[in-house]
Amino acid sequence: MSERHGSKRLVVGAHYGLRDWMSQRATAVLMAIFTIVLLVQVLMPGPMGYDKWSGIFAAQWMKVLTFVVIVALAWHAWVGVRDIWMDYIKPVWLRLVLQVGTLAWLVGCTGWALQVLWRL
């Protein structure tokens, strides 16, 4: 096996960005399905109120789908925001601070959203 650490570490190459690219598409398709499912139910005739709105999220399959989408959104946002930092932020220390901050931000928001979903 060739040495892959120190100055010979793998920085670029085939398959390196494939996982990010692929997960960006997979999570996007999941969120698109959720968006369409939600829009169809919201646009159903009848006045919008708490009963109709909470009724949409009352079905168990919708709760499971929403759970999956919340996790997918966090993953998707992590890949996207990390791309922004890598494009514009050159100092490594600042990039690290922003990436750690991004993770904390996303984990916090994901936890809050799941807590809301759990209570329903």
Partner 1 sequence: MAQTPRPSFTNIHITQIVGYRMPLAAVVSILHRISGGVMFLLLPLIVWLFDTSLSSEVSYERFVAAFDTGIGFVPGIVVKLVVLGLIWAYLHHFTAGLRHVRMDVTHATTKAQGRRSAAFTLVFSLVLTVLLGAKLFGVY
Q: Which residues bind partner 1 (CB under 8 A)?
A: 25, 28-29, 31-32, 35, 49-50, 53-54, 57, 77, 80-81, 84, 102, 105-106, 109, 112-113, 116, 119-120
* SS3 track for 19-45: HHHHHHHHHHHHHHHHHHHHHHHHCCC
Min. distance of Cβ 4 from partner 1 in angstroms?
A: 20
Structure tokens at 26: 């997979």
Min. distance of Cβ 2 from partner 1 in angstroms?
A: 20
Min. distance of Cβ 105 from partner 1 in angstroms?
A: 7
Q: How far is CA 78 from CA 37, 60, 63, 67, in A?
A: 24, 27, 23, 17
Select 29 or 59, whichever has its Cβ closest to partner 1: 29
